Amino acid sequence: MSAIDWLSIQRNAPPVLTQPDTPVAQSANVPNVEVMPLDDPGVGGVGLLPSSITGLPPSLWQGSEEAELIALIEQLGTRKPTIPALDSLLHTLLLAEAAAPSTDSGEAFLAARIASLQDHGLVAPAEAMVERVGILTPTLFDQAFDLALLTGSDAALCGMLDTTPALAPDLETRIWCATRDGDYSRAMTIYQTADALGQLSDLDSELLLRFLDPEYGEASSPLRPPVRPTPLQFRLFEAIGEALPTAPLPLPFATVELSGDAGWRAQLQAAERLARAGAIDDNQLLGVYTSQMRAASGGIWDRVEALQRFETALTTGDPGAVSSALETVWPQMRTAGLLLPFSNLFASRLQGLPLSARAKDIAALAGLLSADYETVARGITESADANHRFLAAVATGTIDMSPPPNLPHAAALLDAWSGRPQAPEDLSALPSENRLGEALLRSIQRFESGASGNDADVTEALRALRAFGLEDVARRSALQLAILDMEGARR
């Protein structure tokens, strides 16, 4: 079960945010605020997933340098893993509850993890991470407010600013909250002062003026949308009647469309984006796909119809109908980069059905991409083609055949399972130094480098994962790399 799958079934309310006890003077001016030191020296180790769920040791980060970990996390945030199994591993690491690095400054490591979760579209878990801390500094408040704007839960944080305005030194937030609280006079006073002093960007100044003065906004030409708006700018555009489509925006904004308020098409596009990133449960994607009947044809609508017809065929149990529908829906899912969610949802129901030859091959690939890959592999016989037999060998962890010439990365996979697993020299000692988390981040990074063309790095990364006890992650990563590249479906 992935970290996101596990979190999706946890329905307990997170701890309520508490306010800092230190009194702060009220003022319309931006105060000089020092970041408040947090009493808990292990705040950087706050997480949602305990060791009993992750299987990772509490000393995961303890021996690493905080700055080094932050740099690695930021690098993996800008160059996200293209292999779902490694994406899932990264999410687990970011969400893990473990001792903070020995050099933990109090919040920088936690802030880096929260920022990475947000970048990966895991907005709700990131918000829960902030709430788990229980006490906010300006840095964490800023992150919490961005997340709350995306989830529509900013009212509580705005309420906190009534008594502790120093939590939000940026005036844009204070103007938004004052307006939300119905205090338009205070909001306009803050705006006019800040604008006169040049403390607002041109875009923020114009957005806030239109927000505060709707008549001015109605008489003005539409604003040019920014390429990377802040969550507050996104909500301001929405408030002035110029809502931004989320499709071209960074991934976190897709979460806004999951409600369906902007229409089914926008909801579908958002669900697909988030499912590709492993940011939502596969069943949530299926629920969006099957919530309505398609309204048009072409593109995403053909994919919706293909999926719905396939699910209907599976329900009826007619092998001929299932074969035909599977042969239609598989390329649709491939085009959308959704073979893994599709396989997770349906592979187990396909095994053992008397399908057509082509559909049987597809069912085998779906099974090898699913969590039941090892069971499926045992059902692949010697009569199967070389690619399927080699993939089955990878799935069982015993490769006793030559790599097929037309299977991507096959030679690298063979090398990874040749002999006893041993991590590369630069990684092998890290776990014994309480730096397993760092070792895993570097392994993910190395695998991604190899997946881009350097197969030697693929081999080293897989050997490292195996040596560190993550055999399942190694096998799933290898299978996904080979199958998705063979299908031309890796993004």
- The predicted pLDDT at position 168 comes to 86
Overall average pLDDT of the 428-435 stretch: 97
pLDDT band at 406 (very low <50, low <70, confident <90, very high): very high
What pLDDT digit, counting tens, does each position of 240-297 carry? 999 999 999 999 999 999 999 999 999 999 999 999 999 999 999 999 999 999 878 9
Neighbours of 221 (CB within 10 A): 5
Contact 412, 458 (CB under 8 A): yes
Give this prediction's pTM.
0.91
Interatomic CA distance for residues 302 and 166, integer angstroms: 52
Mean pLDDT estimate for the chain: 91
Q: Which residues of 347-367 are buried (b: 16+ CB within 10 A; e: fewer)?
A: bbebbebebbeebbbbbbbbb
The answer, yes or no, to whether residue 366 has pLDDT greater than 80, is yes
What pLDDT digit, counting tens, does each position of 112-132 carry? 999 999 999 999 999 999 999
Q: Where are the domains of the chain?
A: 300-486
- The predicted pLDDT at position 8 comes to 61
- The predicted pLDDT at position 134 comes to 78
Contact 394, 474 (CB under 8 A): no
Closest CA to 389 of 426, 361, 422, 357: 361
3-state class (DSSP) for residue 142: helix
The answer, yes or no, to whether residue 21 has pLDDT greater than 80, is no
